[in-house]
Amino acid sequence: MSLLVNNAVIYANLLTLLAISLTITYITTSVPNFAQGSFAVFASYFAYLTYTIFNFPTPYFSIPFSIMFGALIGVSTYLLVLKPLIQKEASILILMIATLSWDLILLGLIGIFSESMSKMIMADASKFNFISLDFKLAGIKGILISSTLAVVFSLAFLFFLLYRTKFGVAMRASMENPSLAEIMGVNVETTRLFSWLLSGAFSGLAGALLPFLQETFQTTGQMIIVSIFAASIVGGLSTIYGAILGGYLVGLSESLVTFWLSKIFGMSVLVYTKAVSLTILILTLLFIPKGLTSVNWRRYIWRWKR
């Protein structure tokens, strides 16, 4: 039971990081990035590579490398794929298809990367995990501590950046209203590029930690993307608070609800983990399409008090 809760919290932490990544770029570029899952998985493979070639004592040392690698993917996504299309005034639909194509390109690159790596390290690199390489602190899994710290530090960094620096003000301005911000002298191009860098970096961080939780293979990104979308949409897709809320809600319920259902209906239910996030997604869209953060909670509390 404790193991279950542990894993649920770790998964929720990682999902929150990924949902934040998705939300940051959605706010600035207004494109849902269908390649977000592959960002993270590519970074996982990169973490594995740096771990093996530098012979680190633990894969945790790879984290800075995969953050940088993730940032690089984020920046190249914007510069190579989206910026040229945005300049041609392509519709959102076209931009979405472009990120879908980019996802396919990344999938191909991940495949090539992993197979070439297998040849290089003389071992099968198509599937791997770091579970046995994790440390334990006072009986607590290392990944539980590190993933929680990762979320805390990422959020602290993000809020410091957005609310305590001048660049953050510019960024928030261009998130709110890009054309007005441009008139006021904000370089929207730079803030957009920076948001893709941040998004890639957070995905890279999540990707470096993911193999500590579960087996990672080439198509993991294609499966995790549904949960990322569910988390972001539950929160409202366009606020960072929402991404945090949605990340934990979807992440925790995906593991815990499935476990609870498996107690009633038997182990065969465990196949349907992702159906839980789908159900949450659909219910949100049906009843509160703008997400949890759009609900005026104060009104309800006030009514309840009376």
Partner 1 sequence: MALETLISSILLWFGIYSIIALSLNIEYGYGGIPNFGKALAVLIGAFTAGAIVNRILISAFSIKGDTITQASGFMKSVVDEVIAANPAFGIGLLLFSLALAGLVGAAIGGLFILPSAKLESDYLAITLLAIAEIMFMIAYNNTALVGGYYGAPVPDVLAFVSGSVREWVFVGLILFFALITYLFLERALNSPYGRLLRAMREDAVALQFSGKDIMWVRIKTLAFSSAVASMAGVLYSYYAGNVIGIVNLFARVNWTFYPFLMVLLGGISNNRGVLAGVMSFVVIWRLLDGYKHEIASLLNLPFDVNWLQYIIFGVLMIVILYYRPEGLIKEKPIETEPLKDLRSKRSEKA
Binding residues for partner 1 (CB under 8 A): 30-32, 34, 81, 84-85, 88, 90, 92-94, 96-98, 100-105, 107-109, 111-112, 115-116, 119, 219, 222-223, 225-226, 229-230, 233, 237, 268, 271-272, 274-275, 278, 281-282, 285-286, 289
Cα–Cα distances in angstroms (integers) from residue 278 to residues 27, 204, 287, in the given order: 23, 25, 14
Q: Which residue's CB is nearer to partner 1, number 113 or number 248?
A: 113
Contact at 8 Å (CB) between 233 and 246?
yes
Q: Which residue's CB is nearer to partner 1, number 34 or number 78?
A: 34
Q: Which residue's CB is nearer to partner 1, number 131 or number 223?
A: 223
Contact at 8 Å (CB) between 238 and 23?
yes
* CB of 20 vs partner 1, minimal distance in Å: 17
Amino acid identity of 289?
Answer: P
Q: Which residue's CB is nearer to partner 1, number 140 or number 271?
A: 271
* CB of 140 vs partner 1, minimal distance in Å: 31
* CB of 75 vs partner 1, minimal distance in Å: 16
136: which strand partners? 141
| Distance separating alpha carbons of residues 210 and 172, to the nearest angstrom | 30
* CB of 305 vs partner 1, minimal distance in Å: 33
Burial track 128-147 (b if 16+ CB lie within 10 A, e otherwise): bbbeeebeeeeeebbbbebb
Q: Which residue's CB is nearer to partner 1, number 12 or number 230?
A: 230
* CB of 72 vs partner 1, minimal distance in Å: 17
Closest CA to 221 of 41, 20, 18: 41
| Distance separating alpha carbons of residues 129 and 127, to the nearest angstrom | 7
Q: Which residue has the tokens 């065969």?
A: 268
Helix ranges, the chain (H): 2-29, 36-54, 63-76, 83-87, 92-121, 142-164, 166-176, 178-183, 188-213, 220-235, 240-265, 273-287, 297-305
Cα–Cα distances in angstroms (integers) from residue 180 to residues 86, 165, 173, 190, in the given order: 18, 20, 8, 15
* CB of 230 vs partner 1, minimal distance in Å: 7
Q: Which residue's CB is nearer to partner 1, number 145 or number 278?
A: 278
Q: Which residue's CB is nearer to partner 1, number 108 or number 156?
A: 108
Q: Which residue's CB is nearer to partner 1, number 134 or number 254?
A: 254
| Distance separating alpha carbons of residues 135 and 141, to the nearest angstrom | 7
* CB of 119 vs partner 1, minimal distance in Å: 5
Closest CA to 7 of 209, 198, 269, 174: 209
* CB of 141 vs partner 1, minimal distance in Å: 27
